[in-house]
Chains A and B, each alone.
Chain A
Amino acid sequence: MRPNNALLATNLSGTVQPAASARGQITGRVDRLAGMALIIGLMVLPFLVMLSTSLKAQEYILQTPPQLIPNPATLESYSELAERIDLPRTIFNSAFVAIAGTAGQIVISAMSAYAFARLEWPGRNIVFLLYLATMMIPAVVLVIPQFILVRSLGWMNSYSALIVPGLFSAFGTFLLRQAFLAIPKDFEEAAYVDGANPFVIFWRIIMPLSLPSLATLGVFSFMGYWNNYLYPLFVARKEDVMTLPIALATLQAGPRSLTEWNLVMAGAVITVLPILAAYLLAQRWFVSGAISSGIKG
Protein backbone atom coordinates (compact mmCIF):
# COMPACT_ATOMS: atom_id res chain seq x y z
CA MET A 1 0.00 0.00 0.00
CA ARG A 2 3.02 2.23 -0.33
CA PRO A 3 1.75 4.74 -2.94
CA ASN A 4 -1.20 5.77 -0.78
CA ASN A 5 0.54 8.65 0.80
CA ALA A 6 1.48 10.00 -2.57
CA LEU A 7 -1.92 9.57 -4.12
CA LEU A 8 -3.71 11.02 -1.14
CA ALA A 9 -1.43 13.92 -0.88
CA THR A 10 -1.74 15.14 -4.45
CA ASN A 11 -4.53 16.84 -6.30
CA LEU A 12 -4.87 19.95 -4.25
CA SER A 13 -7.55 21.21 -6.58
CA GLY A 14 -10.09 19.71 -4.25
CA THR A 15 -11.90 17.63 -6.85
CA VAL A 16 -11.97 14.10 -5.64
CA GLN A 17 -11.46 11.27 -8.07
CA PRO A 18 -11.95 7.68 -7.00
CA ALA A 19 -8.41 6.35 -7.06
CA ALA A 20 -9.52 2.95 -8.27
CA SER A 21 -11.24 4.04 -11.49
CA ALA A 22 -9.22 3.57 -14.64
CA ARG A 23 -10.22 6.96 -15.99
CA GLY A 24 -9.04 8.62 -12.80
CA GLN A 25 -5.71 6.88 -13.06
CA ILE A 26 -5.14 8.02 -16.60
CA THR A 27 -6.08 11.64 -15.97
CA GLY A 28 -3.95 11.46 -12.82
CA ARG A 29 -1.01 10.33 -14.90
CA VAL A 30 -1.50 13.04 -17.51
CA ASP A 31 -1.86 15.65 -14.77
CA ARG A 32 1.33 14.46 -13.22
CA LEU A 33 3.30 14.49 -16.45
CA ALA A 34 2.03 18.00 -17.17
CA GLY A 35 3.01 19.04 -13.64
CA MET A 36 6.46 17.57 -14.02
CA ALA A 37 7.01 19.31 -17.35
CA LEU A 38 5.78 22.60 -15.92
CA ILE A 39 8.08 22.43 -12.90
CA ILE A 40 11.14 21.45 -14.92
CA GLY A 41 10.32 24.19 -17.43
CA LEU A 42 9.99 26.90 -14.79
CA MET A 43 13.17 25.86 -13.02
CA VAL A 44 15.34 25.40 -16.09
CA LEU A 45 14.03 28.14 -18.40
CA PRO A 46 15.87 31.06 -16.73
CA PHE A 47 19.12 29.11 -17.03
CA LEU A 48 18.37 28.50 -20.70
CA VAL A 49 17.75 32.20 -21.18
CA MET A 50 21.14 32.84 -19.62
CA LEU A 51 22.87 30.33 -21.88
CA SER A 52 21.09 31.43 -25.02
CA THR A 53 21.73 35.14 -24.39
CA SER A 54 25.41 34.41 -23.81
CA LEU A 55 25.57 32.77 -27.25
CA LYS A 56 24.15 35.76 -29.09
CA ALA A 57 25.95 38.72 -30.59
CA GLN A 58 25.13 42.12 -29.11
CA GLU A 59 22.73 43.13 -31.89
CA TYR A 60 20.66 39.94 -31.56
CA ILE A 61 19.88 40.28 -27.87
CA LEU A 62 17.85 43.41 -28.62
CA GLN A 63 15.31 41.54 -30.74
CA THR A 64 11.64 41.61 -29.91
CA PRO A 65 10.23 39.14 -29.24
CA PRO A 66 13.38 37.54 -27.79
CA GLN A 67 14.53 34.36 -29.53
CA LEU A 68 15.25 31.48 -27.22
CA ILE A 69 17.43 29.67 -29.75
CA PRO A 70 20.35 31.86 -30.72
CA ASN A 71 20.56 32.26 -34.48
CA PRO A 72 23.36 32.70 -35.35
CA ALA A 73 25.03 31.22 -32.28
CA THR A 74 28.44 32.66 -31.52
CA LEU A 75 31.06 32.58 -28.78
CA GLU A 76 31.78 36.27 -29.38
CA SER A 77 30.48 37.29 -25.94
CA TYR A 78 32.96 34.99 -24.26
CA SER A 79 35.96 36.33 -26.16
CA GLU A 80 34.78 39.88 -25.59
CA LEU A 81 34.33 39.09 -21.90
CA ALA A 82 37.90 37.80 -21.79
CA GLU A 83 39.06 41.20 -23.03
CA ARG A 84 36.99 43.02 -20.43
CA ILE A 85 38.07 41.05 -17.37
CA ASP A 86 41.07 38.82 -16.73
CA LEU A 87 39.04 35.66 -17.01
CA PRO A 88 41.67 32.99 -16.23
CA ARG A 89 42.83 35.01 -13.23
CA THR A 90 39.30 35.53 -11.90
CA ILE A 91 38.40 31.87 -12.34
CA PHE A 92 41.63 30.91 -10.60
CA ASN A 93 40.87 33.33 -7.74
CA SER A 94 37.43 31.86 -7.21
CA ALA A 95 38.68 28.28 -7.40
CA PHE A 96 41.70 28.88 -5.19
CA VAL A 97 39.74 30.74 -2.53
CA ALA A 98 36.96 28.14 -2.52
CA ILE A 99 39.28 25.12 -2.44
CA ALA A 100 41.74 26.49 0.13
CA GLY A 101 38.90 27.84 2.27
CA THR A 102 36.98 24.58 2.15
CA ALA A 103 40.03 22.45 2.97
CA GLY A 104 41.03 24.74 5.82
CA GLN A 105 37.52 24.94 7.22
CA ILE A 106 37.16 21.16 7.21
CA VAL A 107 40.49 20.55 8.96
CA ILE A 108 39.98 23.23 11.60
CA SER A 109 36.34 22.30 12.23
CA ALA A 110 37.20 18.61 12.49
CA MET A 111 40.02 19.20 14.97
CA SER A 112 37.87 21.45 17.16
CA ALA A 113 34.99 19.01 16.89
CA TYR A 114 37.26 16.22 18.07
CA ALA A 115 38.23 18.26 21.13
CA PHE A 116 34.54 18.72 21.93
CA ALA A 117 33.39 15.20 21.13
CA ARG A 118 36.22 13.02 22.41
CA LEU A 119 38.58 14.84 24.77
CA GLU A 120 37.44 15.44 28.32
CA TRP A 121 38.35 18.73 29.92
CA PRO A 122 36.81 21.16 32.40
CA GLY A 123 34.96 24.06 30.76
CA ARG A 124 34.22 22.10 27.60
CA ASN A 125 30.47 22.73 27.69
CA ILE A 126 30.87 26.44 28.34
CA VAL A 127 33.26 26.89 25.43
CA PHE A 128 30.92 24.89 23.21
CA LEU A 129 28.00 27.12 24.18
CA LEU A 130 30.13 30.09 23.19
CA TYR A 131 30.60 28.50 19.75
CA LEU A 132 26.85 27.98 19.41
CA ALA A 133 26.14 31.56 20.47
CA THR A 134 28.26 32.97 17.63
CA MET A 135 26.01 31.18 15.14
CA MET A 136 23.14 33.49 16.08
CA ILE A 137 24.92 36.62 14.90
CA PRO A 138 23.75 37.77 11.43
CA ALA A 139 26.41 38.03 8.73
CA VAL A 140 25.91 41.77 8.33
CA VAL A 141 26.91 42.39 11.96
CA LEU A 142 30.25 40.73 11.18
CA VAL A 143 30.93 42.40 7.82
CA ILE A 144 31.85 45.83 9.19
CA PRO A 145 34.22 44.75 12.01
CA GLN A 146 35.80 42.06 9.81
CA PHE A 147 36.40 44.68 7.13
CA ILE A 148 38.05 46.92 9.74
CA LEU A 149 40.11 44.02 11.11
CA VAL A 150 41.28 42.93 7.66
CA ARG A 151 42.17 46.52 6.88
CA SER A 152 44.23 46.98 10.05
CA LEU A 153 46.01 43.67 9.41
CA GLY A 154 47.04 45.05 6.02
CA TRP A 155 45.15 42.28 4.26
CA MET A 156 42.99 44.38 1.94
CA ASN A 157 42.86 42.89 -1.56
CA SER A 158 44.63 39.69 -0.57
CA TYR A 159 43.73 36.03 -0.61
CA SER A 160 44.10 35.99 3.18
CA ALA A 161 41.24 38.46 3.48
CA LEU A 162 39.04 36.25 1.32
CA ILE A 163 39.97 32.94 2.95
CA VAL A 164 41.01 33.30 6.58
CA PRO A 165 38.02 34.90 8.38
CA GLY A 166 35.72 32.23 6.95
CA LEU A 167 37.85 29.33 8.18
CA PHE A 168 36.63 29.41 11.76
CA SER A 169 33.15 28.09 11.47
CA ALA A 170 31.19 27.40 14.62
CA PHE A 171 28.64 25.75 12.36
CA GLY A 172 31.21 23.33 10.90
CA THR A 173 32.44 22.47 14.38
CA PHE A 174 28.87 21.85 15.51
CA LEU A 175 28.05 19.68 12.48
CA LEU A 176 31.15 17.49 12.85
CA ARG A 177 30.85 17.21 16.62
CA GLN A 178 27.40 15.65 16.10
CA ALA A 179 28.90 13.24 13.58
CA PHE A 180 31.81 12.27 15.83
CA LEU A 181 29.52 11.69 18.80
CA ALA A 182 27.61 9.13 16.73
CA ILE A 183 30.72 6.96 16.23
CA PRO A 184 30.96 4.08 18.74
CA LYS A 185 34.01 4.28 20.98
CA ASP A 186 34.97 0.61 20.62
CA PHE A 187 37.32 1.16 17.68
CA GLU A 188 39.21 3.87 19.50
CA GLU A 189 39.66 1.75 22.58
CA ALA A 190 41.06 -1.09 20.55
CA ALA A 191 43.45 1.35 18.89
CA TYR A 192 44.41 2.80 22.26
CA VAL A 193 45.29 -0.65 23.57
CA ASP A 194 47.55 -0.94 20.54
CA GLY A 195 49.32 2.24 21.62
CA ALA A 196 47.71 4.84 19.32
CA ASN A 197 47.62 8.47 20.50
CA PRO A 198 44.66 10.84 19.95
CA PHE A 199 46.10 12.18 16.75
CA VAL A 200 46.37 8.72 15.21
CA ILE A 201 42.86 7.90 16.37
CA PHE A 202 41.53 11.16 14.95
CA TRP A 203 43.23 10.73 11.61
CA ARG A 204 42.94 6.96 11.14
CA ILE A 205 39.56 6.20 12.75
CA ILE A 206 37.36 9.25 13.32
CA MET A 207 38.01 11.02 10.01
CA PRO A 208 37.52 7.98 7.71
CA LEU A 209 34.33 7.04 9.54
CA SER A 210 32.92 10.55 9.15
CA LEU A 211 33.33 10.93 5.41
CA PRO A 212 29.64 11.64 4.70
CA SER A 213 29.58 14.49 7.22
CA LEU A 214 32.90 15.80 5.96
CA ALA A 215 31.50 15.78 2.42
CA THR A 216 28.37 17.60 3.59
CA LEU A 217 30.44 20.28 5.29
CA GLY A 218 32.79 20.42 2.31
CA VAL A 219 30.01 21.07 -0.19
CA PHE A 220 28.34 23.57 2.11
CA SER A 221 31.60 25.40 2.65
CA PHE A 222 32.60 25.34 -1.03
CA MET A 223 29.24 26.82 -2.02
CA GLY A 224 29.64 29.47 0.64
CA TYR A 225 33.06 30.54 -0.60
CA TRP A 226 32.25 30.24 -4.32
CA ASN A 227 28.96 32.16 -4.13
CA ASN A 228 29.88 34.71 -1.45
CA TYR A 229 29.26 38.32 -2.38
CA LEU A 230 28.54 40.61 0.57
CA TYR A 231 31.89 40.17 2.31
CA PRO A 232 34.33 39.97 -0.68
CA LEU A 233 32.63 43.01 -2.19
CA PHE A 234 34.39 45.18 0.38
CA VAL A 235 37.70 43.43 1.00
CA ALA A 236 38.70 42.30 -2.50
CA ARG A 237 37.93 44.88 -5.14
CA LYS A 238 41.20 44.76 -7.09
CA GLU A 239 41.20 42.70 -10.23
CA ASP A 240 44.11 40.48 -9.22
CA VAL A 241 42.17 38.97 -6.29
CA MET A 242 38.60 39.55 -7.47
CA THR A 243 36.32 36.49 -7.44
CA LEU A 244 33.72 35.66 -10.09
CA PRO A 245 30.57 37.05 -8.42
CA ILE A 246 32.28 40.40 -7.80
CA ALA A 247 33.63 40.60 -11.36
CA LEU A 248 30.23 39.59 -12.70
CA ALA A 249 28.44 42.35 -10.82
CA THR A 250 30.90 44.97 -12.11
CA LEU A 251 29.98 44.05 -15.70
CA GLN A 252 26.73 45.89 -15.29
CA ALA A 253 27.03 49.22 -16.99
CA GLY A 254 27.44 52.52 -15.24
CA PRO A 255 24.63 55.08 -15.19
CA ARG A 256 24.55 56.08 -18.85
CA SER A 257 25.84 53.30 -21.01
CA LEU A 258 23.70 50.32 -21.84
CA THR A 259 24.38 47.01 -20.13
CA GLU A 260 25.75 44.43 -22.54
CA TRP A 261 23.59 41.57 -21.40
CA ASN A 262 25.28 39.00 -23.61
CA LEU A 263 28.52 39.65 -21.71
CA VAL A 264 26.82 39.59 -18.32
CA MET A 265 25.14 36.30 -19.21
CA ALA A 266 28.42 34.82 -20.46
CA GLY A 267 29.93 35.75 -17.09
CA ALA A 268 26.94 34.21 -15.35
CA VAL A 269 27.43 30.96 -17.28
CA ILE A 270 31.07 30.81 -16.24
CA THR A 271 30.17 31.54 -12.60
CA VAL A 272 27.32 29.09 -12.32
CA LEU A 273 28.43 26.22 -14.53
CA PRO A 274 31.05 24.72 -12.17
CA ILE A 275 28.65 24.70 -9.26
CA LEU A 276 25.76 23.27 -11.32
CA ALA A 277 28.05 20.56 -12.68
CA ALA A 278 29.31 19.74 -9.20
CA TYR A 279 25.71 19.60 -8.01
CA LEU A 280 24.62 17.20 -10.73
CA LEU A 281 27.60 14.94 -9.97
CA ALA A 282 27.23 14.98 -6.20
CA GLN A 283 23.56 15.71 -5.61
CA ARG A 284 23.19 14.00 -2.27
CA TRP A 285 25.93 16.04 -0.60
CA PHE A 286 24.47 19.26 -1.89
CA VAL A 287 21.10 18.24 -0.53
CA SER A 288 22.47 17.29 2.89
CA GLY A 289 24.58 20.45 2.91
CA ALA A 290 21.54 22.58 2.15
CA ILE A 291 19.45 20.87 4.81
CA SER A 292 22.09 21.38 7.46
CA SER A 293 22.51 25.00 6.40
CA GLY A 294 18.96 25.50 7.63
CA ILE A 295 20.18 24.73 11.12
CA LYS A 296 22.57 27.60 10.78
CA GLY A 297 19.81 29.88 9.55
Chain B
Amino acid sequence: MSQVMSWNRGIQRWKWVAVFLLPGLIGLTVFVLYPIVSSFWLAFQDWNLLQPPEFVGLSNFQELLADDDFWRALGYTLTFIVLYIPCVFVLGLALALFLNQKFPGMLMVRAATFLPVVASWVVVSLIWKWIFNPSYGLVNAGLNLIGINGPDWLFQPQTAVYAMVITSVWKDVGYIALLYLGGLQNISETYYEAARIDGANRWRCLRHITIPLLTPTMFFVAITLLINYFQMFEQVWLMPMRDSAADRQVEVIVTEVVKNAFSYSRMGYASAMSWVLFVLIFIITFVQLRLQKRWVHYEAE
Protein backbone atom coordinates (compact mmCIF):
# COMPACT_ATOMS: atom_id res chain seq x y z
CA MET B 1 0.00 0.00 0.00
CA SER B 2 2.56 2.52 1.10
CA GLN B 3 4.60 1.80 -2.01
CA VAL B 4 2.40 4.39 -3.68
CA MET B 5 4.17 7.04 -1.62
CA SER B 6 7.02 8.35 -3.73
CA TRP B 7 9.44 8.92 -0.85
CA ASN B 8 9.79 5.20 -0.40
CA ARG B 9 11.79 5.08 -3.65
CA GLY B 10 15.27 6.11 -4.80
CA ILE B 11 17.21 9.06 -3.42
CA GLN B 12 14.10 10.56 -1.86
CA ARG B 13 13.86 7.55 0.43
CA TRP B 14 17.33 8.02 1.88
CA LYS B 15 16.72 11.69 2.41
CA TRP B 16 13.81 10.95 4.71
CA VAL B 17 15.57 8.04 6.42
CA ALA B 18 18.43 10.42 7.17
CA VAL B 19 16.09 13.07 8.58
CA PHE B 20 14.25 10.69 10.89
CA LEU B 21 16.80 8.07 11.82
CA LEU B 22 20.18 9.77 11.91
CA PRO B 23 19.75 11.90 15.06
CA GLY B 24 18.83 8.80 17.06
CA LEU B 25 21.24 6.43 15.35
CA ILE B 26 24.25 8.73 15.70
CA GLY B 27 23.42 9.33 19.37
CA LEU B 28 22.94 5.64 20.03
CA THR B 29 26.23 4.87 18.33
CA VAL B 30 28.16 7.48 20.30
CA PHE B 31 26.52 7.11 23.72
CA VAL B 32 25.50 3.45 23.81
CA LEU B 33 27.18 1.29 21.14
CA TYR B 34 30.61 2.87 21.43
CA PRO B 35 30.56 2.61 25.26
CA ILE B 36 29.57 -1.05 25.03
CA VAL B 37 32.46 -1.78 22.70
CA SER B 38 34.92 0.31 24.69
CA SER B 39 33.85 -1.36 27.92
CA PHE B 40 34.54 -4.75 26.35
CA TRP B 41 37.93 -3.49 25.21
CA LEU B 42 38.62 -2.08 28.70
CA ALA B 43 37.98 -5.49 30.25
CA PHE B 44 41.30 -6.58 28.75
CA GLN B 45 43.24 -3.51 29.86
CA ASP B 46 44.79 -2.24 33.03
CA TRP B 47 43.88 1.41 33.43
CA ASN B 48 43.85 3.78 36.40
CA LEU B 49 42.71 6.85 34.35
CA LEU B 50 46.14 8.49 34.75
CA GLN B 51 48.61 6.40 32.77
CA PRO B 52 47.64 5.17 29.29
CA PRO B 53 45.74 1.85 29.33
CA GLU B 54 47.89 -1.25 29.09
CA PHE B 55 46.78 -4.48 27.44
CA VAL B 56 46.87 -7.33 29.95
CA GLY B 57 45.02 -10.10 28.13
CA LEU B 58 42.85 -12.23 30.36
CA SER B 59 44.57 -11.31 33.58
CA ASN B 60 41.62 -9.21 34.83
CA PHE B 61 39.44 -12.28 34.56
CA GLN B 62 42.06 -14.47 36.19
CA GLU B 63 42.37 -12.05 39.05
CA LEU B 64 38.60 -12.00 39.37
CA LEU B 65 38.47 -15.75 39.88
CA ALA B 66 40.91 -15.45 42.77
CA ASP B 67 39.32 -12.32 44.25
CA ASP B 68 37.63 -13.10 47.56
CA ASP B 69 35.74 -9.79 47.45
CA PHE B 70 34.19 -10.74 44.12
CA TRP B 71 33.09 -14.16 45.37
CA ARG B 72 31.70 -12.61 48.53
CA ALA B 73 29.78 -10.07 46.44
CA LEU B 74 28.45 -12.86 44.24
CA GLY B 75 27.52 -14.81 47.35
CA TYR B 76 25.57 -11.88 48.80
CA THR B 77 23.90 -11.22 45.44
CA LEU B 78 22.69 -14.83 45.38
CA THR B 79 21.66 -14.64 49.05
CA PHE B 80 19.54 -11.58 48.31
CA ILE B 81 17.99 -13.31 45.31
CA VAL B 82 17.22 -16.48 47.26
CA LEU B 83 15.60 -14.56 50.13
CA TYR B 84 13.87 -11.84 48.16
CA ILE B 85 12.47 -13.54 45.06
CA PRO B 86 10.31 -16.22 46.77
CA CYS B 87 8.89 -13.57 49.13
CA VAL B 88 7.94 -11.09 46.47
CA PHE B 89 6.80 -13.85 44.12
CA VAL B 90 4.28 -15.22 46.64
CA LEU B 91 3.28 -11.95 48.31
CA GLY B 92 2.86 -10.32 44.90
CA LEU B 93 0.51 -13.11 43.84
CA ALA B 94 -1.47 -12.94 47.08
CA LEU B 95 -1.76 -9.17 46.70
CA ALA B 96 -2.86 -9.49 43.08
CA LEU B 97 -5.55 -12.04 43.99
CA PHE B 98 -6.76 -9.65 46.67
CA LEU B 99 -6.72 -6.60 44.40
CA ASN B 100 -8.52 -8.51 41.66
CA GLN B 101 -11.76 -8.40 43.65
CA LYS B 102 -14.50 -5.97 42.77
CA PHE B 103 -15.06 -4.06 45.97
CA PRO B 104 -15.61 -0.39 46.75
CA GLY B 105 -12.33 1.28 47.61
CA MET B 106 -10.21 -1.37 45.93
CA LEU B 107 -8.82 1.16 43.45
CA MET B 108 -7.54 3.17 46.39
CA VAL B 109 -5.75 0.10 47.74
CA ARG B 110 -4.28 -0.49 44.33
CA ALA B 111 -3.04 3.12 44.17
CA ALA B 112 -1.45 2.75 47.63
CA THR B 113 0.45 -0.41 46.69
CA PHE B 114 1.97 1.47 43.80
CA LEU B 115 3.33 4.44 45.79
CA PRO B 116 6.64 2.75 46.66
CA VAL B 117 7.09 1.72 43.01
CA VAL B 118 7.22 5.33 41.80
CA ALA B 119 9.39 6.58 44.66
CA SER B 120 13.13 6.60 43.99
CA TRP B 121 15.34 3.90 45.46
CA VAL B 122 17.37 6.55 47.24
CA VAL B 123 14.31 7.85 49.11
CA VAL B 124 13.07 4.35 49.91
CA SER B 125 16.51 3.24 51.15
CA LEU B 126 16.81 6.26 53.43
CA ILE B 127 13.27 6.00 54.83
CA TRP B 128 13.82 2.36 55.73
CA LYS B 129 17.28 3.04 57.07
CA TRP B 130 15.60 5.36 59.55
CA ILE B 131 12.80 2.89 60.28
CA PHE B 132 15.39 0.19 60.99
CA ASN B 133 17.37 2.48 63.31
CA PRO B 134 17.95 0.23 66.35
CA SER B 135 17.28 2.92 68.98
CA TYR B 136 14.81 5.35 67.45
CA GLY B 137 13.29 3.46 64.53
CA LEU B 138 9.75 2.23 64.19
CA VAL B 139 10.60 -1.45 63.73
CA ASN B 140 12.35 -1.92 67.04
CA ALA B 141 9.78 0.27 68.79
CA GLY B 142 7.12 -2.12 67.48
CA LEU B 143 9.13 -5.16 68.55
CA ASN B 144 9.54 -3.58 71.99
CA LEU B 145 5.78 -3.38 72.37
CA ILE B 146 5.53 -7.16 72.13
CA GLY B 147 8.50 -7.58 74.46
CA ILE B 148 11.20 -8.35 71.90
CA ASN B 149 14.53 -6.59 72.07
CA GLY B 150 15.12 -5.79 68.39
CA PRO B 151 18.50 -6.42 66.75
CA ASP B 152 20.99 -3.84 65.50
CA TRP B 153 19.55 -4.26 62.01
CA LEU B 154 21.81 -2.28 59.70
CA PHE B 155 24.96 -2.71 61.77
CA GLN B 156 25.35 -6.47 61.45
CA PRO B 157 25.70 -8.24 58.07
CA GLN B 158 23.04 -10.88 58.61
CA THR B 159 20.29 -8.64 59.98
CA ALA B 160 21.21 -5.97 57.42
CA VAL B 161 20.49 -8.47 54.66
CA TYR B 162 17.05 -9.16 56.16
CA ALA B 163 16.36 -5.43 56.47
CA MET B 164 17.29 -4.85 52.84
CA VAL B 165 15.17 -7.79 51.71
CA ILE B 166 12.16 -6.43 53.62
CA THR B 167 12.74 -2.99 52.09
CA SER B 168 13.02 -4.46 48.60
CA VAL B 169 9.85 -6.51 49.00
CA TRP B 170 7.98 -3.42 50.20
CA LYS B 171 9.21 -1.40 47.23
CA ASP B 172 8.48 -4.00 44.55
CA VAL B 173 5.45 -5.97 45.69
CA GLY B 174 3.00 -3.49 44.12
CA TYR B 175 4.78 -3.72 40.79
CA ILE B 176 4.81 -7.53 40.83
CA ALA B 177 1.13 -7.59 41.82
CA LEU B 178 0.38 -5.33 38.88
CA LEU B 179 2.09 -7.75 36.49
CA TYR B 180 0.08 -10.62 37.99
CA LEU B 181 -3.14 -8.61 37.75
CA GLY B 182 -2.63 -8.34 34.00
CA GLY B 183 -2.31 -12.12 33.84
CA LEU B 184 -5.33 -12.72 36.09
CA GLN B 185 -7.54 -10.54 33.96
CA ASN B 186 -6.70 -12.63 30.91
CA ILE B 187 -8.07 -15.82 32.47
CA SER B 188 -11.49 -16.57 31.06
CA GLU B 189 -14.40 -16.65 33.47
CA THR B 190 -15.75 -19.82 31.85
CA TYR B 191 -13.10 -22.01 33.51
CA TYR B 192 -14.29 -20.98 36.95
CA GLU B 193 -17.95 -21.47 36.05
CA ALA B 194 -17.24 -24.97 34.78
CA ALA B 195 -15.25 -25.78 37.92
CA ARG B 196 -18.04 -24.52 40.15
CA ILE B 197 -20.58 -26.70 38.39
CA ASP B 198 -18.25 -29.62 39.11
CA GLY B 199 -18.26 -28.60 42.76
CA ALA B 200 -14.67 -27.42 43.04
CA ASN B 201 -13.85 -25.23 46.02
CA ARG B 202 -11.79 -22.07 45.98
CA TRP B 203 -8.53 -23.72 46.86
CA ARG B 204 -8.91 -26.25 44.06
CA CYS B 205 -9.78 -23.47 41.62
CA LEU B 206 -6.67 -21.60 42.64
CA ARG B 207 -4.54 -24.71 42.43
CA HIS B 208 -5.90 -26.12 39.18
CA ILE B 209 -7.09 -23.09 37.21
CA THR B 210 -5.56 -19.81 38.36
CA ILE B 211 -2.00 -20.94 38.96
CA PRO B 212 -1.58 -23.08 35.82
CA LEU B 213 -3.03 -20.34 33.62
CA LEU B 214 -0.88 -17.75 35.35
CA THR B 215 2.39 -19.58 34.67
CA PRO B 216 3.27 -17.45 31.61
CA THR B 217 3.00 -14.34 33.80
CA MET B 218 4.96 -16.06 36.56
CA PHE B 219 7.65 -16.88 34.05
CA PHE B 220 7.85 -13.26 32.94
CA VAL B 221 7.91 -12.10 36.57
CA ALA B 222 10.67 -14.55 37.46
CA ILE B 223 12.86 -13.44 34.56
CA THR B 224 12.28 -9.74 35.31
CA LEU B 225 13.08 -10.22 39.00
CA LEU B 226 16.26 -12.18 38.35
CA ILE B 227 17.56 -9.69 35.79
CA ASN B 228 16.80 -6.75 38.10
CA TYR B 229 18.19 -8.26 41.29
CA PHE B 230 21.46 -9.39 39.80
CA GLN B 231 21.85 -5.63 39.28
CA MET B 232 20.67 -4.43 42.71
CA PHE B 233 22.63 -1.43 43.88
CA GLU B 234 21.06 1.50 45.76
CA GLN B 235 19.80 -0.30 48.84
CA VAL B 236 23.14 -2.05 49.38
CA TRP B 237 25.07 1.15 48.68
CA LEU B 238 23.03 3.35 51.01
CA MET B 239 21.44 1.31 53.77
CA PRO B 240 24.18 -0.26 55.94
CA MET B 241 25.32 2.05 58.76
CA ARG B 242 28.58 3.72 57.87
CA ASP B 243 31.69 1.88 59.10
CA SER B 244 29.68 -0.94 60.67
CA ALA B 245 30.39 -4.61 60.08
CA ALA B 246 27.48 -4.65 57.64
CA ASP B 247 28.98 -1.76 55.70
CA ARG B 248 32.34 -3.48 55.41
CA GLN B 249 31.03 -6.91 54.48
CA VAL B 250 27.76 -6.70 52.59
CA GLU B 251 28.57 -6.05 48.94
CA VAL B 252 26.82 -7.13 45.77
CA ILE B 253 28.28 -7.33 42.29
CA VAL B 254 27.28 -3.82 41.21
CA THR B 255 28.61 -2.17 44.38
CA GLU B 256 31.84 -4.11 43.89
CA VAL B 257 32.08 -2.89 40.28
CA VAL B 258 31.41 0.69 41.38
CA LYS B 259 33.99 0.49 44.18
CA ASN B 260 36.67 -0.84 41.88
CA ALA B 261 35.94 1.74 39.21
CA PHE B 262 35.37 4.87 41.23
CA SER B 263 37.13 4.31 44.57
CA TYR B 264 40.18 2.39 43.36
CA SER B 265 40.23 3.74 39.74
CA ARG B 266 40.61 0.21 38.39
CA MET B 267 38.63 0.81 35.21
CA GLY B 268 39.75 -2.34 33.39
CA TYR B 269 39.15 -4.67 36.30
CA ALA B 270 35.74 -3.13 37.03
CA SER B 271 34.74 -3.45 33.37
CA ALA B 272 35.76 -7.10 33.37
CA MET B 273 33.58 -7.63 36.43
CA SER B 274 30.62 -5.90 34.80
CA TRP B 275 30.92 -8.22 31.79
CA VAL B 276 30.96 -11.22 34.08
CA LEU B 277 27.68 -9.90 35.50
CA PHE B 278 26.29 -9.60 31.97
CA VAL B 279 27.30 -13.19 31.17
CA LEU B 280 25.71 -14.42 34.43
CA ILE B 281 22.45 -12.65 33.60
CA PHE B 282 22.57 -13.98 30.07
CA ILE B 283 23.11 -17.57 31.23
CA ILE B 284 20.38 -17.40 33.86
CA THR B 285 17.89 -15.98 31.36
CA PHE B 286 18.86 -18.62 28.81
CA VAL B 287 18.47 -21.44 31.33
CA GLN B 288 15.06 -20.08 32.33
CA LEU B 289 13.97 -19.96 28.71
CA ARG B 290 14.99 -23.60 28.34
CA LEU B 291 13.32 -24.66 31.57
CA GLN B 292 10.06 -22.90 30.82
CA LYS B 293 8.70 -25.86 28.83
CA ARG B 294 8.68 -27.85 32.05
CA TRP B 295 6.31 -25.60 33.94
CA VAL B 296 4.87 -22.81 31.82
CA HIS B 297 1.45 -23.54 30.38
CA TYR B 298 0.35 -21.50 27.38
CA GLU B 299 -3.40 -21.42 26.94
CA ALA B 300 -3.28 -21.42 23.16
CA GLU B 301 -1.50 -24.76 22.96
Binding site for B on A (CB under 8 A): 1-12, 14, 16, 32, 35-36, 39-40, 42-47, 49-50, 53, 61-66, 108-109, 111-112, 114-116, 118-121, 127, 130-131, 134, 136-149, 164-165, 167-168, 170, 173, 185, 188-189, 192, 197-199, 202, 223, 226-227, 229-230, 234, 245, 248-249, 252-255, 261, 264-265, 268, 271-272, 275-276, 279-280, 283, 286-287, 290-291, 294, 297
Contacts and interface: CB of A to CB of B under 8 A. Distances in A.
Contacts of B4: 189, 192
B179 A1 contact: no
Given A111-B21, A120-B2, A198 B16 contact: yes
Interface string B142-174: 001100000000000000000000000010001
Interface stretch (B26-34, B58-66, B79-87, B288-296): B26-34
A97 to B, nearest CB: 13
Most buried by A among B34, B119, B243: B119
Most buried by B among A138, A148, A170, A272: A138
B137 interface: yes
B115 A279 contact: yes
A138 B2 contact: no
Q: DSSP class of B's interface residues: helix, strand, loop or mixed? A: helix
A28 to B, nearest CB: 10
Contacts of A265: 126-127, 130
A64 B13 contact: no
13 contacts: A10-B101, A32-B103, A111-B21, A120-B3, A127-B25, A144-B274, A148-B38, A149-B38, A249-B122, A252-B238, A271-B120, A287-B114, A297-B228
A149 B5 CA distance: 41
A106 to B, nearest CB: 12
Given A46-B131, A142-B36, A234-B262, A10 B20 contact: no
B278 interface: yes
B101 A32 contact: yes
Contact of A120 (B8, B178, B258): B8
Contact of A227 (B24, B121, B144, B261): B121
B254 interface: yes
Contacts of B205: 8-9
Contact of B257 (A53, A112, A140, A261): A140
B248 interface: no
B24 A14 contact: no
Given A1-B189, A127-B25, A264 B112 contact: no
B288 to A, nearest CB: 12
Contacts, number: 324
A218 to B, nearest CB: 14
Nearest to B120: A227
B193 A138 contact: no
A147 B49 CA distance: 11
Contacts of B121: 227, 229
A145 B28 contact: no
A49 B97 contact: no
Contacts of A142: 32, 35-36, 39
Interface string B98-125: 1011110110110111111111111110
A112 B25 contact: yes
A119 B13 contact: yes
B178 to A, nearest CB: 7
Given A115-B17, A248-B126, A294-B220, 8 more contacts: A8-B210, A32-B103, A49-B138, A119-B16, A131-B28, A261-B136, A265-B127, A287-B178
Contact of B170 (A6, A46, A65, A234): A46
B56 interface: no
Contact of A53 (B8, B130, B189): B130
A288 B66 CA distance: 44
Contact of A134 (B8, B14, B33, B113): B33
B198 to A, nearest CB: 13
Contacts of A254: 242
A36 B109 contact: yes
Nearest to B253: A140
